[in-house]
Structure 1
Amino acid sequence: MLAPLLSIPLAIPLALGVPAHARADSVQASRYYEDALKRFERQDMDGAILQLKNALQQDARLLTVHVLLGKALLSRSEAAAAEVEFNEALQLGINRAEVAVPLAQALVAQGKQADVFKLAVLNPDGLPDATRQALLLVRAGAASDLGDANRAQALVDDARAIQAQAPESWVAEVPLRVRSRQFDRAHAAADRALQLAPRNAEALYQKASIAHVQGRLDDALRAYDHVLAVDARHLEAQLARAGILVDLGRQEQAQPALQALLKQAPTEPRALYLSAVLAERRGDSAAASQALKAVTTQLDPVPMDYIRYRPQALMLNGLAHYGLGELQKAKPYLEAAQRLQPNSPLSKLLAQVYAADANLDRASDVLETYLKAFPADSQALVMMASLQMAQGRHARATALMQEALRGRDAPEFHTALGLSLIRGGQIGSAADELEKAFQKDPSQAYAGLSLATLYLRNGQTAKALAVADRLVQQQPRNPSVWMMQGAARQAGKDLAGARQSFQQALQIDARLVEPQLGLARLEILARQFDAAQKRLDALLRTDERNVDVLYEMALLSEARGQSTEVQRWLSKAADASGPRQTRADQALVAWLLKQDQAGAALEAAKRLLGKAPEDLQANITYARAQLANRDTSGAKATLTSAARRSGFDPQPLVDIAALQLATQDPAGAAYSLDKALTAAPQHVPALALSTTVALQQGQPAQAEKLAHQVITLQPGQALGHLLLADVFQARNQPAQALEALRKAHEVAPSSGTLLALMRALARQDGSNKAASELAERWLRKFPTDVSAWKALGDSQARSGNFAAARKSYDSALRLRPKDVETLNNQANVLIRLGDAAGAVPLADQALALQPRHPSVMDTAGWAHHLSGQGDRALQLLRDARLRDPANPEIRYHLAAALAQAGRKAEAREELDAALKNRSFTSMKDAQALAQTLR
């Protein structure tokens, strides 16, 4: 994470400067954007879209461009294209508040009402009031479409509670009342909206729609004319008016109305269908067919699950296909039927087919029905247990095998039971069952391999190697057992022995991929990158979609420091993975989060969860992605469910608890940790985190007891003393906390204990002097400690000693030239020292390393602004503001750049938002600028 030292960001070594042509492209893109914004403001959508696409050709990463393009496309009823742009902005890191409402509108326009409630980015919690109100109203319309009238009205009421005098909630109530045939209430809501805003076009439209639905067409026509007098481009009013004219047979009036409408929205299916009707009436079958084809072209790509929420769209496409003579294509839009597969004695084979096709639920349904008729079929029982495990239902799998063992003591039942217990986190019991299976039938290689894997997982390398050696003796022609021996030898640091094992597996079957991958891993460990590359390239020539090879290519790229290649290979591996193969997906999410690509990580996590919805690690990974996207309530729900469904393996429960604390759910974390400590009472990570939870729950005595327990278990480690310091700090006992931190640093001196002690010293004297002196003494002994140099620079900068801070950061950068945090702070220091020109290359290099971080963009933008490079500054600061609109420093910087560019109204808007904060670093400067703009 970036240090909160200064409100401006990171940077990198001067030798990595941004290419001149890249800067030129960005500047040109910024100019295209500014021109597009002016066109958008005067409703020239065609010109705006053209300029925005020109901007993207220069720089496809610009958030401002994607957002404005999405809004322009949405205004032209190109909802699918608009959705793409908003999602692209989210993947690039925009703050969701900036696109939540238009994205929801784009989804509803496509009939994707259910997605408005499913997508985490569209959760109203945590959004600013105005945005939350607008989103609640979109959700209300979506709930109404889904047939949930009560929920829809409740959402309208929630929105109205935010701002009762706003007309929007009353406008939104009208169609809800119309759908329920409550016309009096619909009229009342419309009248109330018009009292609040007499010339509100949408309120006028809703008032007109009541007459339309009631069949008072002449009244409706006059009312729609009134709407269009207020807003000539109101699409729904134009459509409704044109539809009435067609219904009344007024072709001479309908034709020009439709032509004008299609000029504004050339792909609107309803207008296209009305054109087909008019063409047919005048006997122009070619034009009618062309219009009908245009309807199907628009609606066919939309999934049926979405169109079913829009009866009009279903009917339109069904009728359009029917009119074109495409009866088979018309049928699914007019019917919905699902036929059940009958049960038969072939159910086991059928279940295997479904499982191979990744249709695990269907396979389980078939087997469950079969087992009701044949409950003693051991093969079906084992298959069912395997399916339950694949779906994450480990308790159900365990129960199945325990029941089977009561009927017959079969080795395969012990194996299946052991595997289900592993998945359920009951590691000790699992090992017992696998040992029973292996002893009862040594030919149960799967039991032996699972047992050895379990030992490796628990760090019991000697036990794992003993099982592997026994397997090799019993089954010397089985390459899998040689692979296991190789893995055990590698874990035991016997790399030469591991190579021999992998080569022996290849001698048995030269076509096997796994031994080759084992050898590649050994080559990577030995930093023989070219040899590993050659081996993996050869494997890919044989099968370019082999998931394991693609994954190893990612590991090789990481070892070589090739970040872009890591993501490319992980994405390829995830794409090639089957429904139950989640390793690549897990790794991809972790990598994207590491690279600060929160939006892309969430999408990858959704795909992962779609593959394994019941898998504990998949749920944990999804929660991490939700948190990275600030969906706290969604992450909380995910973690609560995961903790309840999990077994008793303590480490995943500790991981869940740590994330629950990040969601401000200490009660949930306490539940998870209690569960972990029930299984492993001396599990130090669980005890340590329980200390933190106890403090958060206001139980310092319990926290102190737990901290002392950690000290007893690990007397030579710093952890217990650090926890004890937290307890004293919570009790407002700074002297005792400081003493505990001194003890931690004495027992286990490290960068971590040094930094903790420095923070405490800074809090104690407020001058950072003692903290700086401590760091200086440490650095005389350990001059290559980068963290200490950074901490010293931070301390000096906080004290206002920017010249000394610059030297400390230089020392850190000599040791770690690409440390983004240090580069950021160094750029900030240069700005504080008045050397903005010197800060520019550092800021640009920071941007190359962290192109999505709003603070990085802010630093670079501010440095460019202070150096007189206005176009580049404006582009970067606009992007930064979209990613972090709550940051007053960024909004002040953008206001200054806007003011310099002559966009004073927009600058005032940004300053007003910034100055709502009570204090921030540049508040006085912001107030001074505000005075010049009055």
Structure 2
Amino acid sequence: MPQTLRSTQTAHRLPRHAGRLSLLSLALLLACSKPDHFAQGQQSLSKGEYATAVVELKNAAQAQPDSLEVRIALADALERTGDTLGAEHQLRQALKSTPKDELVPRIALLMLDRMDVAKLDQEFHDRKLSTPAANSELHAVLALGHLALQHPDKAREELKDVTPSPTASLAKAQLLLADGQREKALAELEAVNAQGPANWWVLRATSRVQSSLGQREQALKTIQKAHEAAPWNRGLIGEYGEALLNAGRIEEATAQRDKLRKQAPGYFWTQYLNAALMARAGRYEEAHASALKVLAGVPDHLPATLIAASAELQKGETLMAEKRLLSIGKKHPNSIQRIQLLAQSYLRSGRLNDANDMIRNGLALDAENKQLLSLKADVALQRRDARLATQALEALLKSDPKDAYSLLRMAELQGGKSEATLGLLQRAAEATTDQGLQDRIIATVLRLGKPAEARKFAEDMVKAQPEQAQTRLSLAAVLRAQGDADGARKQVQTVLDKNPAYAPALSALELLASNEAQRAELLTRYAQAVKTKGSPAQTFMAYAAQLERAGQTDPSPLSVLEQGLSQFPDDIQLRDTVVEAYLLAGKPEKAISTAESGASANNAPATAVALLATTYQRLGKQSPALEAWRKAVAASPLRNDWKLQLAEMEAGANRHNEAASLLRSLLTSHPTDARAYRALALLVAKDKPSEAISVAKQMGQQEKLKNEALLLEGEVLLRQGKLDDALKQYSEAVKAGAIPAAAIARISVLDQAKRQPAAESELATLLRNLPKHPGVLQFAAQRAMANGQVEASLDYWKRAVELAPNNGALLNDYAWALVQSKKPGAVEVAQQAVAMTGNHPNAMDTLALALAQAGKQEAATKLLRSAFNLAPTVPSIRLHLASALNASGDKAGAAELIKNLRPEQLNADDKAALSRLRGA
């Protein structure tokens, strides 16, 4: 028993001991299986998976907060994600636990990369590191900071005692560059590169110097190497993109911009590249918006300033462009591009002396600058100084005898000297492949009355460039002008056979389609075009319009537009057209969703938000419309038309203070915009009449707006019921030359004061003085109709539209007068108005009433439904549709439409019609 017992006890002890060993082994195994965050972070870092690396290394730093190795690795990862502040923080944390001089220059470089130069200088200017190499490196970085702020003397001070290093050489090179010693600067950098593989920031600096020396191809290669050495660096992506753009490699530059958009949509380089690309593509609104975002962070950035000012000049905002260009004059007085833009601005605003002075300053810096010499000729031509213009053009041709534009302008200047002129035009034609110039040359030859020579010019251009589509279209235009439509059509067909998607050729074919067979061919060509790769968004819109005119439904115009939008989701004009088509088809939900998807897309332009605002507004959704307009204005704060719209919306929502604030900001930013003064004065006229008068007087301080200011002051007085004061004010405006507006205003006030004889007398005088002024005749027509003088009214209307046959609004008013007087011809005139106004709801409404009056009730109802779909909030259109539905027996539909109509929204005739409907 004892023996057995002992062996049993042993048997029990062994398993228990074995159990303890197993748990220990398990604990060891678990400890070994814990993730090594540092190792995994380094592995992710080496693979370029920077976000993952940051996560792993942050975990490692939590576990080992005093590890220098971990902190440096985490700083590397953070820097590669663009978080230079985070990287700096990690290096400072490392310094706390492990004082190491070598980390200080690295911290300084991160601060310099962020352009936090003031703080950099404040913290490190007097800092002396114990390690000589680190101390030298720190002060070289400080020198770079001073050079960035254009303080060369401070940079020299920092570089006094530095030892040779890549950073020191970089600083010395930039100092040489600032001193104008560009060749020595390049030699300094090349010496650094010769010592071994250069780091990315030395390569970047080398590229900048090469670029300043005009070595653009070499500079591009160098910045590409820098980018390849540090592909994570966002600044390098931006500079590389800019270099590609300057080299004309647009697709590659766009790819760099798109890469930055994904990584950092609000980053300086992202916005600048986008601004430059949009400007290059002629998309000035988007270029302007992006340039302003650049300038919000870097107000003195010259290239962004030039883009913004150029866009403002394109939009006619010369005052804003001038202010912007003058503001950077102190820092960039010798920028030729700035001088050119200022000269253009002065020229456009008629300030010829200022333009001339600016051109003279520019030519003192660059005597052979073509743009400035060309502007000099422009100034001379505006002054009618043919001698000075000829001198400027001769100077251009002396430096470049094959300057086609100057040859063309010299020919235009010579005018009637046909043989000499033809010789110049011949030289110009031989010197250029620019289609715009070629077309202008041919047009000039035609103006000289030389059709045969024009044809020969065009044929020679085709022979010289047989594969150039536009030269054939120029020849087609000449053939068409000579009455050879078949020859013209063959040239256009040749172009489309080679390139079915070439939009100008499709437009030319449309001009030549004069019968059913040719119109059928046009539709076939468009159908082929939209199936061809490379067809632009405009082609889809043009094809849809052609289908609409032809009344075809297979394919439907809307389906073609939808197809186009699926291919070009960023094209705002196409999206706008699709929204309009949905509204016309009575699909408001689809219209809203289409506008919303454009506005909610990544990096959606402000124009997409404005489209959404307009769509809400048209459908009577005032609250979301107001919110969308606020977003659009915030995204593009210099769009004065949008600010005016937002102010109107704010006022409509009884937010008068907000509206007034917006309008006052407009007076500051756009002091020559008459609309802002008028809107503000009329906004405050009721409650603050003295302020309204003050606004009108403030407007009068602008030389260009003096007459309009006098008229505005008269309108304010009229709204206050001060008829005599208003009459006096309008008399002042007449004396100042505000004719015919002030005279018309006087007559209206006299009518309002029941002084008809005086009104009749003044109108007779006005008609004698301006018998062929469409606006005067329009006023006379409206007044005669209001006084029951139907025949006289129609006579005035007829004379007005004969003088302005392309004025859609005038045609619509004439058609309305014909409808009111139940005279023949209303349908034909109304159809012209609809064609001229592009399906404006008011014109459609007029045509519908004319059709109904002509007994075409079904067509009238259909057209009224379309007008209502486009403008469901317009009371008169709603009423007219209700009347049509009621007449067709749809009394429930009519009742629904007039349910919320208020009589005060309607004119006298429509009030009576509403009363009849409600009593039916």
TM-score (norm 2): 0.46
Larger radius of gyration: 2
Query: TM-score scaled to structure 1, two decimals?
Result: 0.45
